[in-house]
Structure 1
Amino acid sequence: MTDDHTSGPVPDEITLGRIETEVALLMRFGEATRRASGSAEHRVLDRAAYVILRHLDVAGPQNVSALAAKLNLDGSTVTRQVSAMQRDGLIARTPDPADGRGTVVSPTPAGLQRMAAVRTARTRLYGDILAAWSTDDRDTLAELLHRFNQALESRPRPR
């Protein structure tokens, strides 16, 4: 898109293009950094298990449908992940008190311990990466990432 007075892109389009590029790079470098880390703590959980455990730790036990909706994933995908996590002893299923036919999943102590190890390793890694940044810059980055994630989460989903 161009503006009526110039033949080039409008400034907002340039900025949005930069954001798109930086987010793409963030995802790529984040995953590459995790894989290349020499720390075993980064590898005690796969990314999906870590995200599920982090959510259950904050939100409490949930049925798979609620978990899938919160994580914006297909129910069958979450069911497969939850089954694998249950086999690994990371989560437990119990009868759903609101619906006796269903179950809810919750983290086990082992699951929480592994999640905490990954979180600690990641926090240490980001501390190293951002060591030269001022406290104000770190706070600004944290706030902007939080706002960005909230905007992504609240975005209407196609049905």
Structure 2
Amino acid sequence: MGTDARELVHRLQDLLRGVRLIKQRRAEERPVIPLGLVGILSQLDGLADGCHARELALHARLDPSTVSRAVATLVAHGLVERRPDPTDRRAQVLALTPDGRTALTDAHDWYARLLDRALAGWTADEVTALGAGLRRFTRDLEVALENHENLEAAR
């Protein structure tokens, strides 16, 4: 591994630590959504008028058992509801409740205020470049992981 790659590993570790601290602070200041579940709630919100748990797991790229536990917690907190699937009586559709939508909006607003403070000294071009770089990096990382999985499966 080259020196540049090692430095990047350290910066990624710093970023992950920062993200963990942000999540902890949000949970302390806005505990309506349990720690670690804003992402699942956001994923569900982005899937039209609800979805099945397996669709949510695929979309979030999480194990179905992880999604099942997260959904159970969100249902217990009144942020997600299970409705009968009109096309399959055996299945249930997951959807945000009005309280879930309000809590998610509040969480997103909290994150936006934090980022506004953190990036106050940045120019608009620097913020745009950061967003573009992160978008490209996450896309390329997913491609690299998929290629690795495909190579492993072929062996």
Does TM-score exceed 0.5, indicating one fold? yes
> Which of 40, 59, 64 is 2:47 aligned to?
59
When residues 106 and 37 of structure 1 are mapped into structure 2, their CA distance, relative to the original with a 3 A threshold, is closer
Gaps of 5+ in 2: none
Once the two structures are overlaid, the 10-residue window that deviates more, 98-107 or 81-90, is: 98-107
- TM-score by structure 1 length? 0.80
In structure 2, what is the equivalent of residue 122 of structure 1? 111
In structure 2, what is the equivalent of residue 20 of structure 1? 9
Contact 1:39–1:121 under 8 Å retained in 2: no
Contact 2:26–2:107 under 8 Å retained in 1: no
The correspondence of residues 30-49 of structure 1 with structure 2, limited to 5 A, is 30-36=19-25, 40-41=29-30, 43-49=31-37
In structure 1, what is the equivalent of residue 135 of structure 2? 146
1:48 positional shift: 3.4
1:92 positional shift: 0.9
In structure 2, what is the equivalent of residue 111 of structure 1? 100
| Matching residue's letter, 1:101 | R
Between structure 1 and structure 2, the one with the greater Rg is 1
The separation in 2 between residues aligned to 1:64 and 1:25, in whole angstroms, is: 32
1:38 positional shift: 9.9
1:153 positional shift: 4.2
1:98 positional shift: 4.5
* Alignment RMSD: 2.3
Contact 1:68–1:78 under 8 Å retained in 2: yes
The separation in 1 between residues aligned to 2:119 and 2:28, in whole angstroms, is: 18
> Which of 19, 22, 38 is 1:50 aligned to?
38
In structure 2, what is the equivalent of residue 76 of structure 1? 65
The separation in 2 between residues aligned to 1:37 and 1:51, in whole angstroms, is: 13
Name the SS of the counterpart of 1:148 in structure 2: helix
- TM-score by structure 2 length? 0.82
- List per-residue Cα deviations over 1:33-88 (Å, max 9, x = no partner): 443469723x3323432111111212221111111122222111111110111111
| Matching residue's letter, 1:56 | L
Name the SS of the counterpart of 2:37 in structure 1: helix
Identity of aligned residues (%): 28
Name the SS of the counterpart of 1:93 in structure 2: strand
| Matching residue's letter, 1:106 | A
